[in-house]
Amino acid sequence: MLQLSGVDAYYGPSQVLHNISLEVSKGEIVCLLGANAAGKTTTMKTIFGLLRPRSGSIMFEGQKIERKLTGNIVGSGLALVPEARRIFPRMTVLENLEMGAYSRRSRAEIKQDLEHVYQIFPRIQERRKQVAGTMSGGEQQMLAMGRALMSRPRMICMDEPSMGLSPLLVETVFETIVRIRDEGMTIFLVEQNASMALSLADRGYVLQTGKIVLSDTADNLLKNDLVRQAYLGGA
């Protein structure tokens, strides 16, 4: 469904992604693990046209997207839940959700999807009139996920959804990810929280200083020595 082949990306003269190749098939949860500054967010930015790869290709459902504008990429069915849950803090919860559907026309379908988001996140429905920036971190994360769902995507990319959340909330967020997948969504998850990510993913990749150094099933990665030492606290 999503395929990166030989992607190189730079910030000015410094190369941050080196020959990244990875793929996500329909119905999978695939995670990209890596320490601080490994290039996880840069990989996301490159997929969404926020940074142009210098070389390599990015395909979504058989179409090349590496030269497309971000809005067109989202319009083609790929949604992003950005790092640090970049919601619109001064807008209400409902306005944030409506922004997620900005490229869509059918009011009836938008209303239907809003009901669906409320069903997944009852808390968001309770708070729909609240100014989004005043919600707790966990609520904002749910709103960011809900907003992504409002573009009616076929695949969602999430940048560190567990960041800054309490263990209990991390669990809630991850349960929601599994639920969305069970409803038919394909999910690409970028995470520092390796044990949680691998507990729900089908497969994973490990990124170190901009290079993919490992690719395997989640079960095998959980058993892998490098992963255990570097990302699972040697457990």
Q: How far is CA 102 from the centre of its chain?
A: 19
The side-by-side arrangement of strands in the sheet containing 2-11 is 14-24, 2-11, 55-60, 63-64
Q: What angle do CA 62, 6, 83 make, to 5 degrees?
A: 80
Question: At closest approach, how far in Å is the CB of 16 from ligand ATP?
Answer: 4
| Distance, CA of 42 to CA of 183 (rounded, Å) | 29
When asked if residue 138 is in the footprint of ligand ATP (CB under 6 A), the reply is no
Element (H, E) at 108: helix 107-120
Select from 22, 34, 145, 218 the one that contacts ligand ATP (CB under 6 A).
Answer: 34
| Distance, CA of 136 to CA of 115 (rounded, Å) | 22
Looking only at residues 176 through 205 of this chain, which bind ligand ATP when binding is defined by CB under 6 A? Answer: 192
Instruction: Indicate the residue among 11 and 102 with the shorter CB distance to ligand ATP.
Output: 11
Q: What angle do CA 170, 210, 61 make, to 5 degrees?
A: 75
Question: At closest approach, how far in Å is the CB of 42 from ligand ATP?
Answer: 3
When asked if residue 39 is in the footprint of ligand ATP (CB under 6 A), the reply is yes
Residue 189 has a CB neighbour count (10 Å cut-off) of: 26
Residue that is written with structure tokens 């988001």 in the block: 117
Number of residues lying near ligand ATP (CB under 6 A)? 11
When asked if residue 16 is in the footprint of ligand ATP (CB under 6 A), the reply is yes
Range in contact with ligand ATP (rule: CB under 6 A) among 29-37, 71-79, 102-110, 197-205: 29-37
Residue that is written with structure tokens 């069970």 in the block: 182
CA end-to-end span of the chain, whole Å?
34
When asked if residue 102 is in the footprint of ligand ATP (CB under 6 A), the reply is no
Question: At closest approach, how far in Å is the CB of 142 from ligand ATP?
Answer: 21
Question: At closest approach, how far in Å is the CB of 54 from ligand ATP?
Answer: 14
Instruction: Indicate the residue among 39 and 153 with the shorter CB distance to ligand ATP.
Output: 39
Residue that is written with structure tokens 């919600």 in the block: 135
When asked if residue 40 is in the footprint of ligand ATP (CB under 6 A), the reply is yes
Instruction: Indicate the residue among 33 and 222 with the shorter CB distance to ligand ATP.
Output: 33
Select from 20, 24, 38, 132 the one that contacts ligand ATP (CB under 6 A).
Answer: 38
Residues that bind ligand ATP (CB under 6 A): 11, 16, 34, 36-42, 192
